[in-house]
């Protein structure tokens, strides 16, 4: 990373437009006469080269290296409670910032957090840090946060400090899941502290975690959260 430069150089550089051409044949067709169809592909390629040559279009060649791709297994672990799975979904919603840095070692450490409240706030801390710092080391950040929280909890126990929790919010308020709906995905957001209403108070509906506060063009509404 020593040679990594974030600022573009002042001198001009050639700009080349590129495009990708995909020629796909049905497997059943390939099984009948493979040689003939490969020759057809070569003919199409040669015609493209002739077209580029006639029109003075520069052709550049480069090696193509395949990669094993992103391992999605660390991204889809199953935790023991709704709050833990919801908090993990918040991290996954960060996209590549989180996907490229999560490791099995990080996931295994997250499994050691037994308390729902601790797990949720740990995920929220990592969510904020990952949004602020593109190259954050998730595992080191997790270890540092857990050690700091252990010291804080020890001080709170000595001073008998009590505070509201997700399952015990302030009077007449509830923590409700929050999501933003986009044309391509559902972005999971941290829980929102909302004033209760008849729907959230009604026990037949299963409580506030059975609903989510949705955001579409600044329009808020409640809907079911059975997908979590």
Taking 60 as the threshold, does the pLDDT of residue 6 lie above it?
A: no
pLDDT at 130: 92
How confident is the model at residue 109, as a pLDDT?
93
pLDDT of residue 223: 52
pLDDT for res 158: 64
For residue range 67-80, list pLDDT tens digits in order.
454 555 667 788 88
Indicate the range of 37-41, 73-77, 131-135 predicted with least confidence.
73-77
Type and span of the H or E element at 27: helix 27-32
Q: Is the pLDDT of residue 159 over 70?
A: no
CB 165 within 8 Å of CB 117: yes
What percent of the chain has pLDDT above 90?
22
The answer, yes or no, to whether residue 146 has pLDDT greater than 90, is yes
Residue 162 confidence class, pLDDT cut points 50, 70, 90: low
User: Would you say residue 128 has pLDDT above 90?
Assistant: yes
Q: Does the global pTM surpass 0.75? A: no
At 218 the pLDDT is: 46
| 164 Cβ contact partners less than 8 Å away, ≥ 6 residues apart | 170
CA 54 from centroid of its chain's CA atoms:
46
Residue 66 in tokens: 């395949």
pLDDT at 23: 65
Mean pLDDT along residues 171-190: 85
Q: What's the whole-number average pLDDT of the chain?
A: 77
In DSSP notation, 142-205 reads HHHHHHHHHHHHHHHHHHT-----SSS-STTEEEEEEEEE-SS-EEEEEEEEEE--HHHH-GGG
pLDDT at residue 43 tops 70: yes
How much is the pLDDT for 56? 81
* Paired tokens of 131: 């949004």
pLDDT band at 124; cut points 50, 70, 90: very high
Whole-angstrom Cα distance, residue 217 to residue 55?
48
Of 45 and 141, which is predicted with more confidence? 141
Tokens of 168: 């015990």
Q: Answer whether residue 199 shows pLDDT above 50.
A: yes
Buried b (16+ CB within 10 A) or exposed e, 138-154: bbebbeeeeeeeeeeee
């Amino acid at each position: 990373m020593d040679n990594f430069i974030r600022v573009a150089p002042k001198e001009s550089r050639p700009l080349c437009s590129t495009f990708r051409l995909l020629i796909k044949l049905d497997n059943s067709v390939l099984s009948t006469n493979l040689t003939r169809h490969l020759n057809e592909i070569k003919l199409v390629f040669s015609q493209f080269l002739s077209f580029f040559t006639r029109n003075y279009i520069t052709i550049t060649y480069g090696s193509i290296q395949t990669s094993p791709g992103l391992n999605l297994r660390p991204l889809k672990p199953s935790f023991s409670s709704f709050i833990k799975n919801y908090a993990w979904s918040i991290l996954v919603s960060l996209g590549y910032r989180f996907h490229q840095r999560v490791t099995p070692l990080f996931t295994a450490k997250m499994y050691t957090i037994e308390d729902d409240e601790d797990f949720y706030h740990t995920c929220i801390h990592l969510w904020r840090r990952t949004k602020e710092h593109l190259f954050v080391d998730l595992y080191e950040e997790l270890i540092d946060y857990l050690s700091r929280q252990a010291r804080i909890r020890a001080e709170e126990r000595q001073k008998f400090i009590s505070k509201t929790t997700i399952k015990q919010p302030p009077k007449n308020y509830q923590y409700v899941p929050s999501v933003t709906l986009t044309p391509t995905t559902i972005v999971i957001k941290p829980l929102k502290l909302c004033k209760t209403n008849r729907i959230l108070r009604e026990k037949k509906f299963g409580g506030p975690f059975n609903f989510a506060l949705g955001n579409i063009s600044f329009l808020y509404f409640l809907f079911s959260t059975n997908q979590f």
